[in-house]
C-alpha cells in the first residue's frame, strides 16, 4: 500500500511537470484556439496537433511499473475530445494510442484501444453537451476531472478485458489503477483551469485596452476636427497624457512641435522646430519609430538633463497616407514601454488622423458652399440685367421720370447684391432687396404681374441670412408667373409659426408649376434651405407646398427673437 | 408693309412701335401679347411681316413658327434679348433677327432687306421648327385656351366652322391650326380630305364597300378613310 501511495505522489509530480509545460505553451498563440469550443477546420487541426503532443508527452512522463507504464496520457486524449469534438478526440486517441502501441509491452494493445476510447469518450460528451446547449459545462474543471476519471476506469476495464494472461492484466491494474485515476483526473481538471485563467487574463487585458481607447476617442472627439493647430493639439495631448499615464505626450506637424505635456514640458516648447532624429525618421519614412532606450538609444535632442528616457513616434497621415505630423509618447528614464502603449499609440494616431482629415473635409465643404453662393451671385443673372435694361430703355422714351426711378431701383438691387453671403440681415433689409427687384419686374410685365407684400412692421427686425428671400421671389416669377398667359400674382406674407418663437414667411405664386420648375435646375432653393438649417438648426429652413396650375407656396421658417415674439402684432 | 408685333412685354412692344413709326411704309396691323393671340391674328390678318419675340409664356416664338400654315408662311423678324441657341440658328440660316434693345440703324437695314425681298420666296424655317417640334396644340374654348398634348389627340376633323381636335375622351376642341400644318408638323396622318388620325390611337382598320375604309380608335370611335388616302395610310402604318 505504501508503495502505491509513493507511486501516486510520483505520478502527481510528473503531472506537475506536464502542467508546467502546458503553462509555458499557454503563452503562445498556439493556445488561442484551444480556449474555446472549436468549430472551424484550422482550429480543429491546431486542437488535434496540440493535444496529440500532450497525449504523447503524457506517455513519456509516465513511470515504468514492471513492464507497463503508469501514465497521464488520458489528459490529452480526453481534453482533445472535449474541446475538439468526436473527430478530434478520435484522432488524438488514435495518434496517442498508436504511439503507445509502438513502445510495446504486455498491455500495448489494451493501452492503444483504451486511449482511442478515451478520446472518443471526450468527444461524445462534447457532442452531448453542445446538443443540450450547455457549452459552459465543457469548461468546468470539475466536469473535466470526472470525465478523465471515467475514462481511466474505462481504461482499466479494457486492460482487464484485452490483456492475456489475465494474471498479468490484474497485476498491472492493481499497481497502476490508483495513481493513474488520481493523476489523470487532477491533471485534466487543472489543465482546464489553466486554459480558463489564460482566457480570463486575455479578456481583462483587452477590456482594459478597449476602455482606454474608447475613453480617449470620446474625449478627443471633434477637437482636431476644428483645426490641426497648437491650441487643439494641446487639448488632445493633455487627454492622451491623462488617459494613458505615459511620461509625456507631444504632437507635431511636419516641421515643428505643436503641443507638449508631461515630464520635460519646461524645455519642449511648442513652436520649436523638430530636432529629434526619431521624429524626423518617422516623418521621412512614414513609419512608427520606437526608441526604447535599450536597443535603440534615446537622448533628448533639446536638453541634456531631460528625464525622458524613451519615445514612441507614430506618424499622423492624411487620406493619401501622406504624413501630416506625428504623435509622440514618452516614458521617463527607468520606466519601460509596455507593449500596450505601442498598440494604443498606433490606435490613437489613427483616430487623430481621421479627425484631422474630417476637419479638412469640413473646411472644404464650407468653402464650397461659399463659392456656390458667389457663383449664384455672379449669375444674378445676365437675363435679368438684359430685361431690366430693355425695360428702362423703353420707359425712357415714354416717361423719363419713371425711368429715373427704375434706374434707382436697379442700383439698389445691385448694391444689395454686394452683401456678403455669410452676413445676417434684417427682414426689412431683405424686403428692400426684394422690392428693388420687383419694381423692375413690375415695369417689365406691366398688367401681367401683381404683387402683394404684407409683412407686419413688427417683424422688420427679424434676422435671417442674406439672400434668403430675393432668390425665392425671383424663382416665383422666372419659373412661375412668367409662364402664365393671364395675370401672375405674387404674394409675400408672414405669420407666426405653430412652434413658439418661430416666424413663417411665405412666397406664393399663382402658377403652380413647381414640379416642372424643380426638374429644370437647383434654383438655389436647396442652398437657401441648407444655409437656414446650418444657421438655425434642423427645425428651420424651406417648405414647399404646390398645387399644379393653382399655386406654389415656399415657406421660410425663421426663429423669432424674444422681444419680437412677445410684442403684439398690432404694434 | 403690314406688320404684326408679338411680344409678351408691353414695354418691348411700345419700344418697337416707336421705332417703326420712323418708317412710314410700315403699318402695324395689330399687336399680340402671347403666341396664341399671335396665331389668331396672323390667320386673320395675313400680315407681310411678323416681329416675333422668342421667350413667351406657354408657347415660344419658335414653337409658334411651327404652327403657321406651311402654305401661307409669313415673313418673320425674330426679336430677342439673349437666346443664344436661337441666335446661332438665325445666323446659320440667315434669318432676320433683331437684338433687344433694338438699334434704329439695324432696324432700318432689316426693313430695307424686307422691302427688296417682298416679291421673292419666304425663307424655309424648317431648321427652326426642328429645333422645337410641336408637342402641344393650342385650342380656343369659349373664354379659355387649352394646350392639348399631342398624345391626347385621337383625330382631327375639318368642318365648315373650322378645324376640331378630338381628344381621347371624345371631346372636340376648336383650333386655329390648319389641317396642312397638323399634317406636316405632327405625326398625325391624313386619312380623308377632312380627317387626320393619330396612328397611336388606331385599333382597327375595317374595309368597306366602294374601296374606302373605316378606322376604329382605341376609344371606340370611327374615323372615315377615303379611297384616295387608304393606300398612303396603309403604307405609313406599314400594313
pLDDT, one tens digit per residue, over A541-559 is 899 998 888 999 999 999 9
The helix/strand count (H/E) of chain B reads as 8, 15
Strands B2-6 and B27-32: parallel
Question: CB within 8 A of A192, min separation 6: which ones?
Answer: A79, A139, A140, A141, A144
CA A254 to chain centre: 26
Backbone angles phi, psi at A407, to 5 degrees: -60, -40
The helix/strand count (H/E) of chain A reads as 18, 14
**Considering chain A, what percentage of its residues have pLDDT values greater than 70?**
91
CA A480, CA A473: separation in Å to the nearest integer? 10
Residue of B nearest to A513 (CA): B58
User: CB A204: neighbour CB atoms within 10 A?
Assistant: 10
Residue of B nearest to A440 (CA): B11
| Angle at CA of residue A199, ends A197 and A205, nearest 5° | 100
Closest CA to A87 of A130, A116, A110: A116
- What percent of the residues of chain A are helix, what percent strand, and what percent coil, each to the nearest 5? 60, 15, 25
All residues of chain A having their beta carbon less than 8 Å from the beta carbon of residue B36 are: 485
Distances (CA, A) of B204 to A89, B60, B201: 82, 37, 9
Give the minimum alpha-carbon distance from B213 to chain A in angstroms, rounded to a whole number. Answer: 42
Q: What is the pLDDT of residues A332-345, one digit of tens each?
A: 876 655 544 677 78
Q: What is the pLDDT of residues A271-302, one digit of tens each?
A: 889 988 999 999 999 888 888 776 777 888 88
CA B148 to chain centre: 14
Supply the pTM of this predicted model. 0.57
Give the minimum alpha-carbon distance from A467 to chain B in angstroms, rounded to a whole number. Answer: 25
Asked if A448 lies within 8 A of B18 by C-beta distance, the reply is no
CA B31, CA B13: separation in Å to the nearest integer? 8
CA A36, CA A288: separation in Å to the nearest integer? 34
Q: Are B66 and B90 in contact (CB under 8 A)?
A: no
Confirm or reject contact between B101 and chain A (CB < 8 A): yes
All residues of chain A having their beta carbon less than 8 Å from the beta carbon of residue B81 are: 383, 386-387, 390
Report, as ranges of residue numbers, the positions in chain B whose pLDDT lies below 50: none
Q: Which of A394, A406, A439 to mutate to test the interface with B (most CBs of B within 10 A)?
A: A394
- Which residue shows C-alpha cell 455672379? A378
- Which residue shows C-alpha cell 453542445? A130
pLDDT tops 70 at residue A372: no
Confirm or reject contact between A386 and chain B (CB < 8 A): yes
Asked if A447 lies within 8 A of B10 by C-beta distance, the reply is yes
Q: Are A301 and A276 in contact (CB under 8 A)?
A: yes
pLDDT tops 50 at residue A401: yes
Grid coordinates representing B86 are 436661337
CA A254, CA B209: separation in Å to the nearest integer? 97
Residue of B nearest to A488 (CA): B57
How far is it between the farthest Cα atoms of chain B? 66
All residues of chain B having their beta carbon less than 8 Å from the beta carbon of residue A391 are: 9, 11
Closest by Cβ to A446, choosing from B10, B18, B81: B10
CA A509, CA A488: separation in Å to the nearest integer? 7
Where does chain B hold its CATH 3.40.50.2300 domain(s)? 2-119
Interface subset of A 465-494, CB within 8 angstroms of B: 482-485
Residue of B nearest to A381 (CA): B82
Coil, strand, or helix at residue B94?
coil
Confirm or reject contact between B146 and chain A (CB < 8 A): no
When pLDDT is cut at 50, 70 and 90, the band that residue A513 belongs to is: confident
Grid coordinates representing A528 are 437657401
Range A333-339, long-range pairs (CB < 8 A, 24+ positions): A333/A293, A333/A307, A333/A308, A333/A309, A334/A309, A335/A247, A335/A309, A335/A310, A336/A292, A336/A293, A336/A294, A336/A310, A337/A290, A337/A292, A337/A310, A337/A312
Question: CB within 8 A of A164, min separation 6: which ones?
Answer: none
Distances (CA, A) of A567 to A424, A425, A498, A505, B73: 22, 20, 17, 18, 66
Asked if B11 lies within 8 A of A485 by C-beta distance, the reply is no
Where does chain B hold its CATH 2.40.50.1020 domain(s)? 139-237
CA A176, CA A62: separation in Å to the nearest integer? 11
Across all residues in chain A, what is the average pLDDT? 85
Q: Which of B5, B6, B9, B37 to mutate to test the interface with A (most CBs of A within 10 A)?
A: B9
| Number of A–B residue contacts, CB under 8 Å | 52
Confirm or reject contact between B85 and chain A (CB < 8 A): no
Interface subset of A 20-39, CB within 8 angstroms of B: none
Give the minimum alpha-carbon distance from B181 to chain A in angstroms, rounded to a whole number. Answer: 23
pLDDT, position B192:
93
CA B48, CA B35: separation in Å to the nearest integer? 17
pLDDT, position A568:
45
Closest by Cβ to A446, choosing from B11, B57, B58: B11
Grid coordinates representing A537 are 438648426
Confirm or reject contact between A193 and chain B (CB < 8 A): no
Asked if A386 lies within 8 A of B81 by C-beta distance, the reply is yes
A208 or A300, which is more confident: A300
Question: What is the mean predicted confidence (pLDDT) over A85-114?
Answer: 90
All residues of chain A having their beta carbon less than 8 Å from the beta carbon of residue B33 are: 448
Closest by Cβ to B11, choosing from A383, A443, A482: A443
Question: CB within 8 A of A83, min separation 6: which ones?
Answer: A34, A37, A38, A47, A51, A126, A138
Grid coordinates representing B168 are 381621347
Question: What is the mean predicted confidence (pLDDT) over A18-44?
Answer: 78
Backbone angles phi, psi at B150, to 5 degrees: -55, -40
pLDDT, position A564:
58
Question: What is the mean predicted confidence (pLDDT) over A97-117?
Answer: 89
Cβ-based burial of B154 (10 A; exposed 0-12, middle 13-18, buried ≥19):
buried
When pLDDT is cut at 50, 70 and 90, the band that residue A569 belongs to is: very low
The CATH superfamily of B2-119 is Response regulator (3.40.50.2300)
Closest CA to A74 of A64, A66, A62, A86: A62
Grid coordinates representing A462 are 427679424
Q: Which of B33, B35, B57 to mutate to test the interface with A (most CBs of A within 10 A)?
A: B57
Distances (CA, A) of A357 to A213, A363, A529: 19, 10, 27
Confirm or reject contact between B104 and chain A (CB < 8 A): no
CA B174, CA A336: separation in Å to the nearest integer? 97
Confirm or reject contact between B22 and chain A (CB < 8 A): no
CA A57, CA B114: separation in Å to the nearest integer? 115
Q: Which CATH number is correct for B139-237, 2.40.50.1020, 3.30.70.20, 1.10.3720.10, 3.40.50.970?
A: 2.40.50.1020
User: CB A422: neighbour CB atoms within 10 A?
Assistant: 13
Q: Which of B5, B7, B10 to mutate to test the interface with A (most CBs of A within 10 A)?
A: B10
Question: What is the mean predicted confidence (pLDDT) over A249-275?
Answer: 90
Closest by Cβ to A394, choosing from B12, B58, B82: B12
Cα radius of gyration (chain B): 20
Asked if A395 lies within 8 A of B11 by C-beta distance, the reply is yes
Q: Are A274 and A253 in contact (CB under 8 A)?
A: no
Asked if A482 lies within 8 A of B57 by C-beta distance, the reply is yes
Amino acid at each position: 500500500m505504501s508503495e502505491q501511495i509513493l507511486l501516486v505522489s510520483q505520478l502527481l509530480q510528473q503531472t506537475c511537470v506536464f502542467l508546467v509545460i502546458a503553462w509555458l505553451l499557454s503563452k503562445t498563440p498556439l493556445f488561442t484556439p484551444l480556449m474555446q469550443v472549436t468549430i472551424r477546420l484550422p482550429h480543429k487541426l491546431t486542437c488535434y496537433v496540440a493535444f496529440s503532443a500532450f497525449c504523447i508527452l503524457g506517455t513519456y512522463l509516465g513511470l515504468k511499473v514492471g513492464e507497463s507504464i503508469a501514465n497521464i496520457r488520458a489528459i490529452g486524449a480526453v481534453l482533445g475530445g472535449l474541446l475538439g469534438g468526436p473527430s478530434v478526440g478520435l484522432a488524438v486517441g488514435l495518434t496517442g494510442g498508436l504511439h503507445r502501441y509502438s513502445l510495446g509491452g504486455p498491455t500495448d494493445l489494451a493501452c492503444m484501444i483504451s486511449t482511442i476510447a478515451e478520446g472518443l469518450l471526450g468527444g461524445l460528451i462534447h457532442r452531448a453537451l453542445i446538443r443540450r446547449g450547455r457549452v459552459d459545462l465543457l469548461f468546468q474543471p470539475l466536469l473535466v476531472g470526472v470525465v478523465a476519471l471515467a475514462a481511466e476506469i474505462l481504461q482499466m476495464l479494457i486492460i482487464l478485458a484485452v490483456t492475456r494472461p489475465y494474471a498479468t492484466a490484474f497485476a498491472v491494474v492493481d499497481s497502476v489503477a490508483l495513481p493513474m485515476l488520481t493523476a489523470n483526473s487532477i491533471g485534466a481538471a487543472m489543465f482546464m483551469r489553466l486554459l480558463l485563467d489564460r482566457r480570463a487574463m486575455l479578456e481583462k487585458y483587452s477590456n482594459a485596452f478597449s476602455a482606454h481607447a474608447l475613453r480617449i476617442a470620446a474625449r478627443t472627439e471633434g477637437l482636431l476636427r476644428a483645426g490641426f493647430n497648437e491650441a487643439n493639439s494641446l487639448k488632445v495631448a493633455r487627454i492622451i497624457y491623462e488617459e494613458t499615464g505615459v511620461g509625456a505626450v507631444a504632437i507635431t506637424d511636419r516641421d515643428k512641435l505643436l503641443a507638449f505635456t508631461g515630464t520635460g514640458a519646461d524645455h519642449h516648447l511648442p513652436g520649436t522646430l523638430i530636432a529629434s532624429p526619431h521624429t524626423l525618421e518617422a516623418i521621412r519614412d512614414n513609419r512608427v519609430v520606437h526608441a526604447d532606450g535599450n536597443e535603440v538609444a534615446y537622448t533628448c535632442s533639446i536638453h541634456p538633463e531631460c528625464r525622458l528616457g524613451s519615445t514612441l513616434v507614430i506618424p499622423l497621415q492624411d487620406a493619401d497616407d501622406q504624413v501630416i505630423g506625428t504623435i509622440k509618447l514618452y516614458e521617463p528614464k527607468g520606466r519601460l514601454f509596455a507593449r500596450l502603449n505601442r498598440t494604443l499609440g498606433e490606435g490613437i494616431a489613427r483616430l487623430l488622423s481621421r479627425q484631422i482629415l474630417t476637419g479638412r473635409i469640413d473646411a472644404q465643404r464650407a468653402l464650397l458652399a461659399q463659392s456656390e453662393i458667389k457663383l449664384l451671385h455672379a449669375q444674378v443673372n445676365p437675363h435679368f440685367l438684359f430685361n431690366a435694361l430693355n425695360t428702362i430703355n423703353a420707359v425712357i422714351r415714354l416717361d423719363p421720370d419713371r425711368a429715373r426711378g427704375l434706374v434707382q431701383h436697379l442700383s439698389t438691387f445691385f448694391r444689395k447684391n454686394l452683401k456678403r453671403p455669410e452676413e445676417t440681415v434684417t427682414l426689412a433689409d431683405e424686403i428692400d432687396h426684394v422690392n428693388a427687384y420687383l419694381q423692375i419686374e413690375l415695369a417689365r410685365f406691366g398688367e401681367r404681374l401683381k404683387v402683394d407684400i404684407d409683412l407686419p412692421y413688427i417683424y422688420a427686425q427679424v434676422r435671417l441670412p442674406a439672400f434668403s428671400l430675393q432668390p425665392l421671389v425671383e424663382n416665383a416669377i422666372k419659373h412661375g408667373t412668367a409662364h402664365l398667359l393671364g395675370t401672375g400674382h405674387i404674394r409675400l406674407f408672414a405669420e407666426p409659426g405653430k412652434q413658439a418663437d418661430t416666424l413663417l414667411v411665405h412666397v406664393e405664386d399663382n402658377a403652380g408649376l413647381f414640379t416642372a420648375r424643380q426638374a429644370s435646375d437647383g434654383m438655389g432653393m436647396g442652398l437657401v434651405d441648407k444655409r437656414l438649417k446650418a444657421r438655425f438648426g434642423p427645425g428651420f429652413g424651406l417648405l414647399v407646398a404646390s398645387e399644379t396650375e393653382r399655386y406654389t407656396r415656399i415657406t421660410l421658417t425663421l426663429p423669432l427673437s424674444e422681444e419680437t415674439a412677445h410684442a403684439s402684432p398690432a404694434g | 408693309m403690314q406688320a404684326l408685333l408679338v411680344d409678351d412685354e408691353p414695354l418691348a412692344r411700345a419700344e418697337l412701335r416707336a421705332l417703326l413709326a420712323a418708317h412710314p411704309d410700315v403699318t402695324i396691323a395689330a399687336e399680340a401679347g402671347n403666341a396664341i393671340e399671335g396665331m389668331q391674328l396672323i390667320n386673320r390678318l395675313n400680315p407681310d411681316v411678323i416681329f416675333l419675340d422668342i421667350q413667351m409664356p406657354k408657347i415660344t416664338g419658335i414653337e409658334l413658327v411651327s404652327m403657321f400654315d406651311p402654305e401661307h408662311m409669313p415673313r418673320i423678324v425674330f426679336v430677342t434679348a439673349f437666346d443664344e441657341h436661337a441666335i446661332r440658328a438665325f445666323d446659320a440660316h440667315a434669318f432676320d433677327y433683331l437684338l433687344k434693345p433694338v438699334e434704329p440703324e439695324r432696324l432700318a437695314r432689316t426693313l430695307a432687306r424686307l422691302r427688296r425681298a417682298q416679291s421673292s420666296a419666304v425663307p424655309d424655317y424648317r431648321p427652326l421648327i426642328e429645333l422645337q417640334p410641336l408637342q402641344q396644340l393650342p385650342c380656343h374654348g369659349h373664354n379659355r385656351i387649352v394646350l392639348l398634348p399631342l398624345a391626347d389627340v385621337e383625330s382631327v376633323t375639318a368642318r365648315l366652322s373650322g378645324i376640331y381636335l378630338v381628344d381621347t375622351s371624345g371631346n372636340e376642341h376648336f383650333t386655329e391650326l390648319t389641317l396642312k400644318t397638323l399634317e406636316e408638323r405632327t405625326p398625325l396622318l391624313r386619312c380623308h380630305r377632312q380627317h387626320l388620325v393619330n396612328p397611336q390611337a388606331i385599333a382597327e382598320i375595317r374595309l368597306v364597300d366602294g374601296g374606302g375604309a373605316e378606322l376604329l380608335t382605341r376609344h371606340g370611335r370611327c374615323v372615315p378613310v377615303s379611297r384616295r388616302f387608304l393606300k398612303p395610310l396603309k403604307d405609313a402604318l406599314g400594313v
